[in-house]
Structure 1
């Protein structure tokens, strides 16, 4: 679940909530890593000749190499990673999944055209858009993590929600993902760029949820409503309401329900079957999320 424009919005409205940091400064910390997001990053990363890493049989190994070396880097810096894998996506996400399917079909057609004319740049671009993390990718990474002695969690649903639940329960310090929705789910600390290649020389971007709420003068419920207004995987945004206007509306009316009651329906068209109430309920019921650790010999990572 991505939140449209949230990173820039926080930079503009809550700058004290963001800071750049070095990986060495998280020594001794347990961090829940969004496995699917990390695997996707490794799969779209290509070598200088434009090809993926493969074994002797030609099978892609980019995801395994990525997991292995990024995990080693974290361990060398004293971090105790816990990888969290996506479970079954919620029914309310079916619309977004259908859109992604359509975009992949469009990318496939564009790729075929690019290959016909020998457009190398677009071949690479559209190949990346066709990348999808499969069940096989996940299972191979779980086997590798088990062999490395690294704990992992199979989430009942969204990995980011499970990461946030682990943070809220005090089992880990932060969520490591590029998806800003971990904040919406209540992760008090979000770390971006944690699993990026060291060669990219990008600092870790730490975002503190409590500072976000304090600086914007929002409650967590109001922040969730703001994220829904911005647009997420579960419901579209309202056309004409951008980030700045969304902040103004939540500050003025305190909830989406009151925003809708006072919104000029002639000026703003609310999407049909807008599922904002379902989205809100999904984001606020994390206390019921259960987790299961599959590598029992490493259970001390949570104690």
Structure 2
């Protein structure tokens, strides 16, 4: 979900050609939830194999990633590690929403209301150990590297961009700005249309708003983050005005007194996040036979489509090897 900054932050429209040969660090959980929510049948049922295993995420990872890579973009996925204790309230709240949505989804299915069923089904998507492990297995077979974060995946991806190991983070959330990502690409896995991609540049955001990154984090604390609830009645515009009027310190102090959260600790999560510094990124050729076995034989995917996707994945690796041969 992330911090709600849409009202104060403008995005720049870009095209896929602007990302040619760029390395994008994908926030895995963020993107996989998109696939689980969006790739469903008319009545909201997820895609499943003959054994009842969910395959919506596998479909998204294979076909959307192969399409992106076919455009010359290099991807590296980043998976969440251990969640902060400050995130437990958010996790519990999301779990309650998913459970309630699942009940309403099943009720709508029983009544034959497919439109209502799909609406609630989208909100009921769950990240299970099977979803995570099968996603990692598929990425390995596709030759796409992934990094296991020690803490928040968004923080890890932002760190990789800061280090120059990736050009931007691929995520829908604004949180990566708080974690210090120089650039964020939005809608990367949602669209294939030219002009639908959005780019956020931290430096431009801070310059336009005349803020420091710490200022941005302070506004986020008032608006509410995944780690704290924020102050009732304060949105991004109000938070920005409080900062400009030199009233934000007082507002944060009031929030600190009202809340059972330690805002200094939460602020430190953004400014000094726990990250894995010992990671390696290496792209490989896809394992076509392995993909066919895993997706077609085990999960019922079309062999022809799997092979076509595999060949798209090979294209980038082959062009990269040709380039390296000149040096």
TM-score, normalised via structure 2 length = 0.79
1:6-31 deviation line (CA, Å, top 9, x unaligned): 023213xxxxxx21111121111111
Match of 2:264 in 1: 277
Partner Cα distance (2:52, 2:25) in 1: 32
Q: Secondary structure at the match of 2:90?
A: helix
Q: Secondary structure at the match of 2:225?
A: coil
143, 146, 165: which one aligns with 1:149: 143
Q: Aligned pair in 2 of structure 1 residues 293, 141: CA closer, same or farther (>3 Å)?
A: farther
Structure 2 residue ranges without an equivalent (≥5): 285-316, 321-327
Give the superposition deviation at 1:150: 1.2
Q: Aligned pair in 2 of structure 1 residues 214, 294: CA closer, same or farther (>3 Å)?
A: closer
Point out the more displaced range, 276-285 or 55-64.
55-64
200, 211, 231: which one aligns with 2:204: 211
Aligned pair 1:138/2:146, yes or no?
no
Give the superposition deviation at 1:187: 0.5
Q: Secondary structure at the match of 1:221?
A: helix
CA contact (8 A) 1:193 1:202 kept: no
After superposing on structure 2, the runs of 4+ consecutive aligned residues of structure 1 that deviate more than 6 Å are: none
Give the superposition deviation at 1:197: 4.0
Map 1:17-166; keep pairs closer than 5 Å. Answer: 18-47=11-40, 49-50=42-43, 51-166=45-160
Give the superposition deviation at 1:295: 6.5
Match of 2:175 in 1: 181
User: Number of residues paired by the alignment?
Assistant: 285
Q: Secondary structure at the match of 1:290?
A: coil
Partner Cα distance (1:232, 1:259) in 2: 16
1:47-69 deviation line (CA, Å, top 9, x unaligned): 56444333343422221121112
Give the superposition deviation at 1:89: 1.0
Map 1:195-234; keep pairs closer than 5 Å. Answer: 195-198=189-192, 203-234=196-227
CA contact (8 A) 2:80 2:150 kept: yes
Give the superposition deviation at 1:275: 3.2
Q: Secondary structure at the match of 1:280?
A: helix
Q: Secondary structure at the match of 1:10?
A: coil
Match of 1:167 in 2: 161
**Superposed CA RMSD:** 2.5
Partner Cα distance (1:103, 1:111) in 2: 12
TM-score, normalised via structure 1 length = 0.85
Match of 1:15 in 2: none
1:46-93 deviation line (CA, Å, top 9, x unaligned): 356444333343422221121112221222111111100111111110
Partner Cα distance (1:48, 1:58) in 2: 14
Point out the more displaced range, 86-95 or 236-245.
236-245
CA contact (8 A) 2:24 2:169 kept: yes
Map 1:5-16; keep pairs closer than 5 Å. Answer: 6-11=5-10
